[in-house]
């Protein structure tokens, strides 16, 4: 059953977050005034720069730390980061590309059946938590894989974690959870 489920399940990575350092001080005002597609937030102290080619948004701090979000794969994230560094180099800063690290990966998956969140949380007490007042999904934290899975009542899941980098791990997460879902399947034959 697990293998057939794997084939049916479509796990799509939607967001990859990465950080890197430029090892030099950046003047945010220069970047803000001379770059296109930039938003300057002086209250927080950062500049948001958006690239088009890999659709990436980067938060740039004056210390030289940069966080890139919005890439759809690890390689894309690295490419986007390098482009950004190149862009900063052209603006006149002595940029050096160092300490590139992928920090978080978000993937989306959807089960073909709906889930009863209340029973689900009851059966998985300390690991799962559900607060309808705060968020419509139940959060399930897998400690050994260091991943968080948010389960919605429609059956869609979002999986977040660094260990998602290899596709194998993603599948492992889903495999881990499928038995639970099978327990909680609502036995109504209305699904297509």
Cα(88)–Cα(62) distance, rounded to whole angstroms? Answer: 12
Q: Does 146 bind other proteins (CB under 8 A)?
A: no
Which tokens is 131 given? 């607060």
State yes or no: residue 107 binds other proteins (CB under 8 A). Answer: no
With CB under 8 A as the contact rule, the residue among 2, 12, 27, 37 that binds other proteins is 37
Sign of CA dihedral 125, 129, 132, 136: negative
Position among 25, 90, 146, 167 found at the interface with other proteins (CB under 8 A): 90
* DSSP-derived secondary structure for 151-169: E-TTSEEEEEEGGGGSHHH
Among 44, 45, 63, 82, binds other proteins (CB under 8 A): 82
**CB contact at 8 A, 11 and 170:** yes
Rg (C-alpha) for the chain, rounded Å, is 20
CB 66 within 8 A of CB 22: yes
Told to check if 36 binds other proteins by CB under 8 A, we report yes
Instruction: Name the one range near other proteins by CB under 8 A: 7-15, 36-44, 158-166, 169-177.
Output: 36-44
Q: Give whichever of 85 and 106 is closer to other proteins, judged by the CB atom.
A: 85
User: Could you list the residues that contact other proteins (CB under 8 A)?
Assistant: 23, 32-37, 40, 42-43, 51, 53, 75, 78-79, 82-83, 85-87, 89-91, 95-98, 114, 116-118, 121-122, 125-126, 129-134, 136-137, 152-156, 188, 190, 192
């Amino acid at each position: 059953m697990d293998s057939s489920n794997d084939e049916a399940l479509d796990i799509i990575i939607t967001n990859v977050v990465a950080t890197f350092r430029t090892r030099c001080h950046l003047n945010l005002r220069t970047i803000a005034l001379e770059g296109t597609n930039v938003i300057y937030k002086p209250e927080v102290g950062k500049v948001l720069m958006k690239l088009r080619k890999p659709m990436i948004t980067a938060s740039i701090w004056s210390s030289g730390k940069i966080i890139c979000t919005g890439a759809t794969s690890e390689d894309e994230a690295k490419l986007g980061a390098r482009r950004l560094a190149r862009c900063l180099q052209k603006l006149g800063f002595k940029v050096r590309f160092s300490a590139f690290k992928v920090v978080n990966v978000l993937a989306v998956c959807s089960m073909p059946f709906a889930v009863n969140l209340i029973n689900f949380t009851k059966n998985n007490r300390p690991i799962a938590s559900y607060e309808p007042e705060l968020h419509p999904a139940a959060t399930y934290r897998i400690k050994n894989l260091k991943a968080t899975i948010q389960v919605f009542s429609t059956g869609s899941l979002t999986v977040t974690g660094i260990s998602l980098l290899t596709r194998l791990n993603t599948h492992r997460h889903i495999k881990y959870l499928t038995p639970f879902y099978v327990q909680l399947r609502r036995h109504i034959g209305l699904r297509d």
